[in-house]
Amino acid sequence: MSLIMDLHNHCEFSFDSSTPMEKNIEKAIELGIDYLSITDHLDLFYPHEDYRKMLDIEGYFAKYNKLQEKYSGRIKFLSGIEVGIQTTTAQVNDEIVRSFPFDFVIGSIHEINGEDLVTDFVIEKFKDIKDFYKYYYEETQKAVEESKEFDVLGHIDYMDRYIDDIKSIPDICEYKEYLIPTLKNLISRNKGIEVNTAGPRKGLPYMHPKKQVLEWYKELGGEIITIGSDAHQARDIGKGVEEAVELLKECGFTTVSVFEKRKEKKILL
């Protein structure tokens, strides 16, 4: 078996994972994954903390460099980060990312206006779930427009993971007025989106983003897509990657992308 890539997963440098970095690499080698990028979390708040309290980037690179050498020839192991993008921290995020030699940067919406969407129960501040999603996609558009240093927008409909009754999730088409400009903005700046395969592991019948969003992206001319499992434990590395490839082919995509030193390279499906 061979799997094309897993460019989104977490290890011990993320606050929510305790998996040693080498475990993710060994699992990826066992699965025959060609490209692996471990993308630990940086989620700053405003007024922002010192990034070192959130993510020890120096420590990440010290270990990354050692293991990259150790496993070279067995897997293409790329350095990465998942940055929580929001308008209030866009500038400082960009400065931090520029200070380190990352291969690949995912920008994800985990916080809006200094509040963590999940742990601060932001949804409870809205009477109607539709208003919450309007806020979420409107702020996604703004965060994308104001953030410079990222390569792909992560798990676009991420909040669906945290809705107890999935039947209450509004139709994504209701938010087209925010999503289309977001996708157009990404395309115009040569940035991509990711297929994040964690959805089914979180109880959803789809991966992130839903097929409709992939179809819009394709129609608008988008052609930069990465695939990641969002594993926080080695056992989830590579999960759903084959299904993601099938989904992308169904949507008419013929390539996926990897990033090395922030430069995009396409790989035929």
Using alpha carbons only, give the angle 157, 84, 263 rounded to the nearest 5 degrees: 90
Residue 229 within binding range of Zn ion, rule CB under 5 A: no
- Buried/exposed 83-118: b ≥16 CB within 10 Å, e otherwise: bbbbbbbbeebbebbeeeebbbbbbbbbbbeebebe
- As measured in angstroms, the least distance from the Cβ of 219 to Zn ion is 26
Strand partners of residue 83? 42, 107
Site stretch for Zn ion (CB under 5 A), options 15-23, 66-74, 97-105, 224-232? 224-232
For residues 82 and 236, which CB has a smaller minimum distance to Zn ion in the complex? Answer: 82
CA dist., res. 267 & res. 164, Å (int): 37
For Zn ion, how many residues bind (rule: CB under 5 A)?
A: 3
Cα–Cα distance, 198 to 200 (Å, whole number): 6
Nearest-approach distance from CB 108 to Zn ion, in angstroms? 4
Minimum distance of Zn ion from residue 180's CB (angstroms) = 23
Give CA–CA dist 5/106, Å, rounded: 15
Whole-number minimum distance, CB 235 to Zn ion, in Å?
16
- Whose CB is nearest to Zn ion? 108
Candidates 76-84, 90-98, 125-133, 134-142 — which segment interacts with Zn ion by CB under 5 A? 76-84
> CB–CB of 238/33 below 8 Å?
yes
Q: Which residue's CB is nearer to Zn ion, number 93 or number 219?
A: 93
Q: Which of 35, 230, 239, 245 binds Zn ion (CB under 5 A)?
A: 230
Least distance between Zn ion and beta carbon 214 (Å): 18
With beta carbons less than 8 A apart as the criterion, state whether 255 and 244 touch: no
Residues 94-153, interacting with Zn ion (CB under 5 A): 108
Residues that bind Zn ion (CB under 5 A): 82, 108, 230
